[in-house]
Amino acid sequence: MRRIMLSFLCLLMHLLQDEITSLSVMENQDLQDSIKPQKVEFRSLNFNSTLHWQPGWAREARDTLYFVQYKVYGQTTWQNKDDCWGIQSHVCDLTHETSDIREPYYGRVKAALAGVYSNWSLSCRFTPWREIKLQAPRSPYKRKKGSKIPMTNYYDLLYQVFIINNLLDEQHRVLVYEGKDKVIKLKDLRPGVSYCIVAKMYMPMLDRSSAYSSRQCTVLQ
């Protein structure tokens, strides 16, 4: 009878241990799902490309950390972004990593909390050439809530976009767009030719222009 009781107790301990392990796995899985980053997307403004995301559906803890990787479409290996490895921010600057503006890129983000890591959250395909947006500068004047008022509230500002054909004189810039649109499409470009684009702001009322932006160059495929 004593042997039967001992065997029963051993079996019960094993069952309890399995139940505890199962509950622990379920809790970790719930935590993984709850901290997984949401709405991962690239944004490109004034030739600066950044990856943005939102925290998981659970209320975010202060010590949640995020890890960012990127790659060119078609590559098999993801690259770590060292400056965005184990950060608490919800944005990562990938301007340098996406400098070939004709290449399509992907970014992805995962989160970690209390030693538990979420699965990766993937962005949509991002091609800087198609996504670049321009924004007018802010004036030094502020609203009541503290945000700076855009210059467009005081003056008409136009965007001027120039293209440089690298087969020609490097200083020869051709104006291909002038207007208020923040997204434009460039046509009649030849494959295999290296092009650069620059942009600046123009104020017709005062006949004043900003300095040129930094050049963004690529070879059309």
Q: Which candidate, 50, 49, 55, 81, places its Cα nearest to that of 67? A: 81
What residues are paired with 201 via a beta bridge? 159
Domain ranges of the chain: 33-129, 149-219
Q: What is this structure's pTM?
A: 0.59
Instruction: Tell me what pLDDT residue 105 has.
Output: 96
DSSP secondary structure string for all residues of 79-135:
EEEEEEEEE--SEEE-TGGG-STTS-EEEEEEEEETTEEPPPEEPPPB-HHHH-B--
> Is 60 exceeded by the pLDDT of residue 22?
no
Contacts of 38 (CB under 8 A, 6+ apart): 53, 54, 55, 56, 57, 121
Q: What's the pLDDT score for residue 51?
A: 96
Interval 84-98: pLDDT, tens: 999 999 999 999 999
Contacts of 124 (CB under 8 A, 6+ apart): 41, 42
Identify the CA nearest to 84 among candidates 96, 71, 94, 73: 94
Token reading at 64: 């949640």
Which CATH architecture is the domain 149-219 placed in? Sandwich (2.60)
Quick one: CATH architecture of 33-129? Sandwich (2.60)
Where is 53: in which H helix or E strand?
strand 48-54
Q: Given pLDDT bands bounded at 50, 70 and 90, which one contains residue 212?
A: confident
Contact 104, 71 (CB under 8 A): no
